[in-house]
């Protein structure tokens, strides 16, 4: 009996030990599984989270405030401190524009109202989070254009030795907007081949209700500006005989999704061709001013021209040109300009018109397909605003062809094109807001730190998201 | 890029001889090298000139006369004299 008892107890103990060990195994296995599960969740979060999103304390209210030019840094610090706020960041590209963080749990509307009430403040607005909205997130629109595979600036998947993702995120932007024929972009250049099959549908034509161009100093009466203006020959035919203007126009708005050639940043837009440079790609300050004057005239006449793309320049400073560009800004026209190709610092040696310190000017440097500043591009920690693709850029050319070119000339129309995309979804946006939106939606690029004011590459998807 | 058209060098020699007031036979050819210029003005803008900011392939032509060296810059479409008595010229 006792032997049986011991035998039974031994069996029971063995079973308990087996059960316990089995349970431990199961528990260990479950724990490992749960660790794996949570790790997978984290990985999943990382892949779906916008890499450009801010990981800082998102519970605090942040707003954007631009202080008036005469308000000193000390005064700004005193003001924000008095309101129990902090200057979280300065947007160096825009004088007086600060990111203000609220420290006493007020809503964005309340904080904005506080600052708008101050005489020292030019404007204040909520810092709406820029991210791809849920519906747009992950969506891409692929262009079927024949040479799209070469357009690394729009979609860089590492082709030809490039760095995947080093592009302007065009395909994500196109899930939100592909542009609009109500937005007019002036290409101030060597003219544009307005008969090019990949451009013709996106060339501006003066509506009948808009009168022909008349300028006080025109001795031969009005100019029949059907598609634009030729300042060099003082007529209404801005046909390109150099190729440069046609190339820039294609980057902004070659027809997209038509199986022909390339896709522009905008599939649909209206390009206003202007010719002030000759067949050698050179022009005078006076002719550039005349062309800008034409754009202002057309804007006042009712044409919705909101962007001038200026892929040219020199080291010559002109007060007259500065004045006419400022006037364009007063009319709600953004002026996007090439930083220059001298591989020099524009802070030390300015390059105009990009270096005019005006609220409507954006200065653009050039990146290569690996997100490195190109060997030729100018830079400027305070005077150059952003960078965009500018090397081995394929676009429309003369004789209905397509060619590759490099230069800050090519980077500039990428930015002008993104401005047009923004305008296609928000036609009433002010020039200050348009410029700010372009500058705060960049992707930070390590090679641009200390080289351009925003430290980033233009990002079309962020620029058109959550407007 | 194709090799330089001899006509461009002849044009440069003729231009320099005219500017210096000497016979073309006194202009010696230094060297011709292919290069990329920073813009459409070949990095040699004339007064009050704006130019396309596109990298422009071309040639640097150095000519010698009277012990001095003179630099021309050229593409198939244009020719420029660089820093001649402190100024650039489109030829």
Domain boundaries, chain A: 62-126, 148-464
* Per-residue pLDDT, A93: 55
pLDDT for residue A467: 54
Would you state the pLDDT for residue A218? 58
Whether this prediction's pTM lies above 0.90 is answered by no
Catalytic residues of A: 189, 244, 409
pLDDT of residue A365: 98
Rounded distance between C-alpha atoms, residue B57 and residue A425, angstroms: 40
A322: closest CA of chain B, how far (Å): 14
pLDDT score for A7: 47
pLDDT in tens, chain A (467 residues): 344 545 454 544 444 444 443 333 333 332 333 333 333 232 222 223 333 333 334 567 888 888 998 999 999 999 999 999 998 877 665 678 888 888 888 888 889 889 989 999 988 877 655 444 444 456 788 889 999 999 999 999 999 999 999 999 999 999 999 999 999 999 999 999 999 999 999 999 999 999 999 876 655 678 999 999 999 999 999 999 999 999 999 999 999 999 999 999 999 999 999 999 999 999 999 999 999 999 999 999 999 999 999 999 999 999 999 999 999 999 999 999 999 999 999 999 999 999 999 999 999 999 999 999 999 999 999 999 999 999 999 999 999 999 999 999 999 999 999 999 999 999 999 999 999 999 999 999 999 999 999 999 999 999 999 55
Residue written as token pair 């960049």: A442
Which residue from A285, A376, A408 is facing B50, i.e. has the nearest CB? A285
Return the pLDDT at A107. Answer: 85
- The region, left, alpha or beta by phi > 0 then psi within -120 to 50, assigned to residue A255 is beta
Residues 165-194 of A with CB under 8 A from B: 189-190
| A285 vs B36, B48, B54: nearest CB | B48
Segments in chain B below pLDDT 50: none
Facing residues of A89 across strands? A99
Query: In this structure, what DSSP letter does residue A322 have?
Result: H
The CATH architecture annotation of domain A148-464 reads: 3-Layer(aba) Sandwich (3.40)
Q: Where are the domains of chain B?
A: 6-90
CATH of domain A62-126: 3.30.70.60
**Cα–Cα distance for residue pair A333/A324, rounded to 1 Å:** 11
For A222, the token pair is 């009005």
Q: Which residues of B touch A364 (CB under 8 A)?
A: none
Q: Does A406 touch chain B (CB under 8 A)?
A: yes
Q: What is the pLDDT of residue A44?
A: 27
Question: What are the structure tokens assigned to A6, written together?
Answer: 């011991």
Question: Which pLDDT score is estimated for A88?
Answer: 81
Strand partners, A179: A268
Distance of alpha carbon A399 from alpha carbon A354, whole angstroms: 31
Give the three-state DSSP class for B82.
Answer: strand
With residues binned 3-state (H G I as helix, E B as strand, rest as coil), the percentages for chain A, rounded to 5, are 35, 20, 45
Chain B residues closer than 8 Å to A281 by CB: 39-41, 51-52, 54, 56
């Amino acid at each position: 009996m006792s032997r049986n008892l011991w035998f039974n107890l031994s069996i029971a103990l063995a079973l308990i030990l087996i059960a316990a060990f089995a349970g431990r195994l199961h528990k260990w296995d479950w724990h490992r599984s749960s660790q794996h599960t949570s790790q997978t969740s984290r990985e999943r979060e990382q892949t779906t989270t916008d890499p450009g999103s801010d990981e800082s304390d998102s519970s605090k209210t942040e707003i954007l405030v631009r202080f008036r030019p005469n308000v000193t840094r000390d005064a700004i610090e005193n003001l924000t401190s008095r309101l129990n706020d902090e200057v979280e960041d300065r947007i160096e590209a825009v004088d007086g524009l600060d990111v203000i963080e609220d420290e006493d749990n007020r809503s964005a509307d309340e904080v904005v109202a506080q600052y708008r009430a101050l005489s020292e403040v030019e404007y204040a607005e909520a810092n709406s989070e820029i991210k791809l909205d849920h519906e747009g997130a992950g969506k891409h629109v692929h262009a079927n254009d024949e040479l799209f595979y070469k357009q690394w600036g729009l979609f860089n998947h590492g082709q030809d030795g490039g760095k995947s993702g080093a592009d302007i995120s065009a395909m994500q932007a196109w899930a939100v907007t592909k542009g609009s024929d109500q937005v007019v972009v002036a290409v101030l250049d060597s003219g544009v081949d307005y008969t090019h099959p990949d451009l013709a549908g996106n060339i501006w034509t003066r509506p009948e209700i808009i009168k022909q161009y008349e300028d006080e100093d025109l001795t031969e009466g009005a100019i029949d500006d059907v598609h634009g203006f030729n300042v060099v020959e003082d007529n209404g035919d801005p046909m390109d005989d150099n190729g440069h203007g046609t190339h820039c126009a294609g980057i902004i708005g070659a027809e997209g999704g038509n199986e022909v050639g390339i896709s522009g940043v905008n599939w649909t837009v209206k390009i206003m061709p202007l010719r002030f440079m000759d067949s050698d790609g050179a022009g005078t300050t006076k002719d550039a001013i005349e062309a800008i004057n034409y754009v202002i005239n057309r804007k006042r006449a009712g044409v919705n021209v909101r962007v001038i793309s200026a892929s040219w320049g020199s080291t010559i400073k002109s007060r007259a040109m500065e004045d006419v560009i400022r006037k364009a800004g007063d009319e709600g026209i953004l002026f996007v300009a090439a930083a220059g190709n001298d591989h020099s610092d524009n802070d030390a040696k300015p390059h105009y018109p990009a270096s005019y310190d005006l609220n409507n000017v954006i200065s653009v440097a050039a990146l290569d397909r690996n997100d490195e500043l190109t060997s030729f591009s100018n830079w400027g920690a305070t005077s150059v605003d952003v960078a965009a693709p500018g090397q081995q850029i394929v676009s429309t050319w003369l004789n209905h062809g397509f060619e590759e070119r490099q230069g800050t000339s090519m980077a500039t129309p990428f930015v002008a094109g993104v401005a047009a995309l923004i305008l296609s979804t928000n036609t009433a946006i002010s020039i200050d807001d348009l410029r700010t939106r372009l500058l705060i939606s960049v992707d930070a690029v390590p090679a641009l730190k200390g080289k351009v004011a925003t430290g980033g590459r233009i990002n079309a998807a962020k620029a058109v998201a959550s407007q | 890029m194709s090799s330089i058209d001899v006509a461009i060098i002849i044009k440069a020699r003729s231009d320099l001889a005219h500017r210096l007031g000497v016979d073309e036979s006194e202009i010696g050819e230094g060297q011709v090298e292919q290069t990329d210029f920073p813009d459409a003005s070949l990095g040699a803008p004339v007064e009050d000139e704006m130019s396309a900011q596109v990298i422009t392939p071309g040639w640097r032509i150095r000519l010698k006369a009277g012990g001095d060296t003179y630099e021309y810059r050229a593409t198939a479409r244009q020719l420029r004299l660089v820093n001649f008595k402190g100024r650039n010229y489109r030829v």
